[in-house]
Structure 1
């Protein structure tokens, strides 16, 4: 079936259910709450408040089969060239498990294990030293994933190291981080796949110079281009860990890029994080679409984008330790799916990724929830909660959970009123994802779920989830404009020329 035919059938189903409110769909199907939910290990997800019914779901599962979800997942795990525009596999699953007899996948897994062994040695050596603080320098995929995981998983008390993340090229960021540290008790990690990223090189030089004489022993690098850090920063090979071109930056936190995570929570906990992701990998690879959590999540996203036409998606985490999740998912989802060209170079016939955004409850209930409840645009939401809290304040946790439940119920059902200003239309769809606890295993499983959902959405739309050429143009223009800002040349663009004049005062 062609893409256009699949989308046409999806639109027809959406038109049919649009005449029935979400609350009516729920009331008409007493088994819906049970049947529209799945559990995989420590992750439970309920899709009962999404605006579809069983007939529409059956059509979505048929579309998944027609799009080739199962064989395309197998191709991903086997290391086939799924990143066709760059001629590469995307073997982030090999970083956390051995799922394929294919030689390329087995080789990748072996390399990952060897790198993990070296990571452990570095962690143990630093634990035996007098280092108290780690500065992790990177940006994008070399920063967002490790920053999220370290922030979410660090306990109530700091671990062996305090880990600080430096990404923004704005010098104030480096100034603030370094101001409170002692170079004699600090080590630094420079993380860049190409080791040509401007922000990382500039910040890396700032940190190296700040370390002074300690840089010779306290500077580490993670890169796919191992010669560059050695040449640019004098880092010896034993302090350079590998990345590989078969792992995209936004999928790299499972590799040596996760060294800041291991330093923040310990190497054993980092390996439990990988195990949680591997548990989700095994499920996604082997389960049929109707029983596959990633397929449900992906098809729901497709339904909301192409069937119902929603242009944005919120992710709302009801655990303060997940406050960086929306930032991480912005990159994972929007960099992967922000494409308008199919694999064969033709134009896409439908909209792809919505704009992802969000924050944590209950803070966000006092900011943008007004628009979610009564605004003119419907915004689907992923609500993420945690069943067991590690904090000793049980009443706080009950209040947090009650707010999570209340918001999803209110979004779905709304509330009438004789006063139109106090009326709530309802009909706002949401998915509720519950983690048994926020620990390395559950977080690993959650992030792997989103990775596979993104990939399956790309399969449906026949786009490449693993390139990011749109990131490059701004970098190229910025490089051209540096001489103009220095007054060495004149910019070509007339608006840029005027702005440069203002910046130069």
Structure 2
């Protein structure tokens, strides 16, 4: 076999044996028996982030076996393959080089291909020059007015990433208003069109293939509105731009060649926020902050590439996730961001993780019989503490948690808010892990108040990772996103799957095109589908106004 299955390496049996020793352990003993547990189970990343994984149901011996398993599977070799440009996306015969976008200054020298380096520089220079013109009012619309609004038309990776980043970095935003249209539901389109003035708006049509149905239909609807208002197709050159790898389709749509920003073939959709897909980010926060965002990711890339397995944050995150997936049957993982600015972060990681690793076929072409990607969900603290935290604390399912927080808030006059927010961040990880049996704070008064009734009992043993930054800025956000990207990559290698394709997205697209053609035939009763689909289609026809 070309690729190793984790169940075939020597460490797998040792890991199974170690789990039998730990599965019913009293988690309090993990701390009482090791006074240096926090120091041994945490990593300070460049004095910008602290990664604490001490509140996990795992000990040093189990971690060492996991490190050995990663070594036997060949994690280090696989990392080098990706960074060097090997075609690790085998099902699409492509390299995976989003890391080279973050190394656009070529400080680390991961990639030796000078032509690719020049292409990247050319792309970023074009983005930079264009953003400067728009932000400074040099680029004007067809009526010679300055641009006020940017509309990003895309879906999936062409929308989730840019919107999440712009939302997170609102404190670095300039005067331009940024809007996103992704859903084919016309209310999304209408809501944006109601807010903007066509003569002072730019439209970024983001589609690698320039064939994505939702994106092209939305873009065509806007183009029709635009031409109807101005009655001059030449005005499109001042307002419409393509971010794509398909020049021909972009030009056929009506976009001039100079208005096309290239997406490289080796950039996957959910990894494209670092590329020209990030143009709406650059327009919102300026090129300097955008490049700082890339710089942060590059710092994590450097760590991921060079650090040993036992000190490598993304690898450790992936191994811990693997531990709960296979030994505690944890079907889900929750991400809890203690910053309202990151209220779209979980949705972004959902796509990153589940589109990458939601596969049922391994790299050797065999049907998989074990669980692959966990279901990712979550929310923002402290809001989610008043909704689903009840299940985390007293539910019957083990749900591993990632807590993300930032020490320094945004407005000093509201410092009290930040202190309360962070106190909840610290308290929740502690109470989830130790429950209300924690010997460090138990006393007679607390026992009477919190443990006198069976329904007040909190058993703890809910594991979590704490990821805490000094502040939320472009560099720290780049570090955070890249960290999760690399975690997902390592998970894919351990699971022995190809993480960089998404064939599961295609089937529904194909069938929807077929049904769309059927729906255009009004009152057609002779449907060719199953009885459920046929029945729903008949109701559709009878109810359609």
Q: Normalising by structure 2, what TM-score?
A: 0.90
Superimposed CA distance per residue, residues 220-275 of structure 1 (whole angstroms, 9 cap, x where no aligned partner): 1100111111102x111111000122110000000000001101111110000000
Question: How many angstroms does 1:9 deviate by?
Answer: 3.2
Determine the C-alpha separation between the residues in 1 that align with 2:193 and 2:83. 41
Q: Counterpart in 2 of 1:45?
A: 51
Q: Counterpart in 2 of 1:461?
A: 495
Determine the C-alpha separation between the residues in 2 that align with 1:49 and 1:439. 27
Contact 1:96-1:254 within 8 A present in 2 as well: yes
Determine the C-alpha separation between the residues in 1 that align with 2:302 and 2:248. 36
Determine the C-alpha separation between the residues in 2 that align with 1:143 and 1:153. 16
Q: Counterpart in 2 of 1:231?
A: 252
Equivalent position to 1:9, from 9, 14, 29:
14
Determine the C-alpha separation between the residues in 2 that align with 1:107 and 1:444. 25
Written as runs of structure 1 = structure 2, the 5 A alignment for 1:130-145 is 130-145=146-161
Q: Does 1:495 align with 2:524?
A: no
Contact 1:252-1:258 within 8 A present in 2 as well: yes
Equivalent position to 1:434, from 468, 480, 501:
468
Written as runs of structure 1 = structure 2, the 5 A alignment for 1:31-42 is 31-41=36-46, 42=48
Cα distance change of structure 1 residues 144 and 15 upon mapping to structure 2, 3 Å threshold:
same
Question: How many angstroms does 1:324 deviate by?
Answer: 0.4
Written as runs of structure 1 = structure 2, the 5 A alignment for 1:187-198 is 187-198=202-213
Helix, strand or coil: the match of 1:315? strand
Contact 1:223-1:241 within 8 A present in 2 as well: yes
Contact 1:139-1:200 within 8 A present in 2 as well: yes
Helix, strand or coil: the match of 1:382? strand
Determine the C-alpha separation between the residues in 1 that align with 2:151 and 2:528. 36
- What 5-or-longer segments of structure 1 have no aligned partner? none
Determine the C-alpha separation between the residues in 2 that align with 1:348 and 1:262. 41
Written as runs of structure 1 = structure 2, the 5 A alignment for 1:152-231 is 152-155=168-171, 158-212=173-227, 213=230, 214-231=235-252
Q: Counterpart in 1 of 2:24?
A: 19
Written as runs of structure 1 = structure 2, the 5 A alignment for 1:230-309 is 230-232=251-253, 234-309=254-329
Superimposed CA distance per residue, residues 315-371 of structure 1 (whole angstroms, 9 cap, x where no aligned partner): 000000000000000000010110111111012343111100001001111111111
Contact 1:136-1:165 within 8 A present in 2 as well: yes
Equivalent position to 2:515, from 481, 485, 488:
481
Determine the C-alpha separation between the residues in 1 that align with 2:368 and 2:290. 39
Helix, strand or coil: the match of 1:235? coil
Equivalent position to 1:76, from 63, 69, 82:
82
Alpha-carbon RMSD across the aligned residues, in angstroms, is 1.5
Superimposed CA distance per residue, residues 167-203 of structure 1 (whole angstroms, 9 cap, x where no aligned partner): 1110001111110111111111000011110000011
Equivalent position to 2:457, from 423, 427, 441:
423
Contact 1:348-1:461 within 8 A present in 2 as well: no
Q: Which moved more, 1:9-18 or 1:419-428?
A: 9-18
Q: Counterpart in 1 of 2:100?
A: 94
Q: Does 1:328 align with 2:334?
A: no
Contact 2:5-2:494 within 8 A present in 1 as well: no
Determine the C-alpha separation between the residues in 1 that align with 2:157 and 2:171. 24
Determine the C-alpha separation between the residues in 1 that align with 2:21 and 2:366. 30
Cα distance change of structure 1 residues 101 and 93 upon mapping to structure 2, 3 Å threshold:
closer
Q: Counterpart in 1 of 2:61?
A: 55
Determine the C-alpha separation between the residues in 2 that align with 1:472 and 1:103. 34
Contact 1:135-1:186 within 8 A present in 2 as well: yes
Determine the C-alpha separation between the residues in 1 that align with 2:225 and 2:387. 40
Contact 2:237-2:259 within 8 A present in 1 as well: no
Determine the C-alpha separation between the residues in 2 that align with 1:254 and 1:340. 29
Determine the C-alpha separation between the residues in 1 that align with 2:5 and 2:537. 50
Contact 2:97-2:266 within 8 A present in 1 as well: yes
Question: How many angstroms does 1:40 deviate by?
Answer: 1.9
Count of paired positions: 502
- What 5-or-longer segments of structure 2 have no aligned partner? 140-145, 438-450
Q: Counterpart in 2 of 1:122?
A: 130
Helix, strand or coil: the match of 1:45? strand
Question: How many angstroms does 1:100 deviate by?
Answer: 4.2
Q: Counterpart in 1 of 2:422?
A: 401
Equivalent position to 1:375, from 388, 395, 414:
395
Superimposed CA distance per residue, residues 142-181 of structure 1 (whole angstroms, 9 cap, x where no aligned partner): 111111101100218x513110111111000111111011
Contact 1:160-1:263 within 8 A present in 2 as well: no
Q: Counterpart in 2 of 1:447?
A: 481
Determine the C-alpha separation between the residues in 1 that align with 2:505 and 2:81. 26
